[in-house]
Structure 1
């Protein structure tokens, strides 16, 4: 007898039967199939280590010393005695002002001193004679008058000597010298220009750039967090804070910096503090005003380093890796605090003593049966079996680009 069920009825029954089966196998389709042959993978044992705690901050270079050269006496520039851009020492004569008038003032002041000295000698002689003749035609009042004249003569001499010193100073100031060691830039005047004492416009500028200062700005929040970590013991203070400098080109600057001024105030607009460091600059590789990056290393913190080549990052930023668990690959989600060399500084997701899968990762799935082989990783990220033979796990070799160290 022919079936009385229509095609539509058959489709409904098939759908109902499908819905009656568990959905779990479908939900785990991305995991490895059960009973699959174990594949060899390279593993390393995770160990705790002390990682340098560093922060990288932007900064600007500032001259160690910079002086605007201005005249202290008025006159006409008669000579410019330096080459622009050359090194000058403290006391080097840079400019000379016509000093004829000032030399005449010195001569006149010297004559006044000579006259005052003669007047003093005359007054002292008179006083000495009066003192011998008291009671024989010279009264005590005459002696008192002579004493006053001596004192007045001494005062006149002192004033004349002071005027002479001032005249000599003005004459000396016709030679304008550098007060510091440094580099003198282009002069802003020419021979024959008239300048005035203490004018607003400088004649030139002398700048000292060895050593040189670098000012960096740090968030006061992170400063406080670092102090908290030191207090809690999660960060061990180093013997000193290390400061390394990176130029705009990315090249590392030779030499270590030293602290000059720690944070002492906070900007009300940016919430940052300025830290000043000093770097030796014998080759003048740094000029004032340059934009630089400074890496400060405060100490070390205990952490687990996971090679970057053994991890993958999803489009949402999730960082994952595989560890060995009961003969299978177990996928873990990691939490990190920056990077150190070719490894992530991992704080959650793995523990010391676990075996991390670092090679044979291609197409590896969660729950896949694996056969671990001990391996080592070079500083450049190349994986080698612990017995020294090349790896043959069929996966992409572990490697990663160095990202530096960030706290």
Structure 2
């Protein structure tokens, strides 16, 4: 028997005594419809879900990889070498007492600029003052004796031949000479006593900065003692002593002689970096290098002189000096755009005819964060800076002009930021030069999209990505 249809489906009665469970049938029907609708929706959205992963793997239209490039041109690049060094005072004077006595006054201020002749210490002078007075009395007595001897000689000469014998005259002349010598000796003793009294005021021999003294008022010092009372240093100008490899000096001289490097003709051939990393504003000049090579290090000393009007550099201070020894005509290739092949060769990618071309570079040194390259590039080459991950030789690419800012971050040079500031980021600054790694160190590209772990987000297309 067929009963009244429910939800469009007939219900057959199996027995007059059995009644169907209508709520259970309706629940099962609704569950089946929901499962069917979910399956259809998944099939419809499946192509859409796979599209972002495909676009990401293609990296650009028509399967081309988008890369950031900068144009390279030859230029005269200064050849520099950075060397550690220590500051040395232009003049250094150790102040020691030249007479003994007790310190009664220290009138100078430690760390202050003092002129030559400035009194730094005063010693007790009463004893030396009395000694000087006694020497002055001795000089007066000697002069009196000299006058008496001179008068005797004059009288004997008048009486010669009439009561005064020749022997008496000669004896008077000898006494006169002795009196003159006594005057000279007395005057010398007086001058020494006067000099000793003046030396109780200990003065600075040069213009410079007076150091802290380990002595204090009441201390007794002695003539010519080993311990200096203080030191005075002239620090403007100031010297910086560095050491350079003799072998490198010879190689540079050879490069200049062969015409591979031009001698740098300028007064500002030395630049100083303080311990804080700050570049010192005043340029320096190289003085004559040393004449002896160290037997242990193979280096030769070089002294550099810097103006130091503000006393930013003090004797003994550790600094770094960058010496400009010449200039070379070369390309400046950012180190982040290069890598080392398994053979150790330096390589980079350029764009030619719409394709990425791997080129072998010949470098002759570094300048800041770039290689100085003499061969492997031509003027106008589009050097690839961004998008190097998994890039293969011969791959078709599309280019976007980029630039590297002072922080080493690659920025899109074709777009300005909305606020009119710097151009937008293209890569994180953490993607540094791959010069210390080989191509085999690169990580294979991701072939399928995956859900991020909890607490992490996936960068959107076109947003800044860390690590490149």
Distance 1:154 1:337 in 2: 82
Of Structure 1 and Structure 2, the greater strand share is in: 1
1:101 maps to which of 127, 151, 167? 127
Distance 1:329 1:165, change over 3 A: same
Distance 1:42 1:202 in 2: 66
Paired residue for 1:201?
Answer: 227
Distance 1:262 1:400, change over 3 A: farther
1:87 maps to which of 113, 131, 134? 113
Paired residue for 2:302?
Answer: 275
Deviations 1:286-318 (A, max 9, x none): 222222110000221122222445434568865
Deviation at 1:326, TM superposition (A): 5.4
Deviation at 1:57, TM superposition (A): 0.3
Distance 1:46 1:202, change over 3 A: closer
Deviation at 1:183, TM superposition (A): 2.6
Rg (Cα) greater in structure: 2
Deviation at 1:256, TM superposition (A): 1.0
Distance 1:97 1:37, change over 3 A: closer
Deviation at 1:147, TM superposition (A): 2.3
Aligned partner of residue 237 in structure 1, secondary structure:
coil
Matches within 5 A, 1:108-257: 108-240=134-266, 242-257=269-284
Question: Is the contact made by 2:329 and 2:374 (CA closer than 8 Å) also made in structure 1?
Answer: no
Q: TM-score, normalised by structure 1?
A: 0.77
2:293 maps to which of 266, 280, 283? 266
User: Alignment length, in residue pairs?
Assistant: 359
Name which of structure 1's ranges 293-302 and 128-137 shifts more when overlaid on structure 2.
Answer: 128-137
Distance 1:333 1:191, change over 3 A: same
Deviation at 1:397, TM superposition (A): 6.8
Paired residue for 2:347?
Answer: 320
Name which of structure 1's ranges 123-132 and 213-222 shifts more when overlaid on structure 2.
Answer: 123-132
Deviations 1:16-54 (A, max 9, x none): xxxxxxxxxxxxxxxx9xxx8777767666443211011
Distance 2:109 2:242 in 1: 34
Deviation at 1:89, TM superposition (A): 1.9
Distance 1:200 1:252 in 2: 40
Distance 1:141 1:113 in 2: 30
Q: TM-score, normalised by structure 2?
A: 0.68
Deviation at 1:207, TM superposition (A): 2.7
Deviation at 1:145, TM superposition (A): 2.4
Deviation at 1:327, TM superposition (A): 5.3
Question: Is the contact made by 1:359 and 1:397 (CA closer than 8 Å) also made in structure 2?
Answer: no
Deviations 1:242-288 (A, max 9, x none): 11000111111110112334132111111111111122222222222
Distance 1:186 1:357 in 2: 59
Deviation at 1:139, TM superposition (A): 3.2
Distance 1:401 1:158 in 2: 88
Name which of structure 1's ranges 116-125 and 353-362 shifts more when overlaid on structure 2.
Answer: 353-362
Distance 1:270 1:88 in 2: 40
Q: Which runs of 5 or more structure 2 residues have no equivalent in the other structure?
A: 1-57, 415-424, 434-468
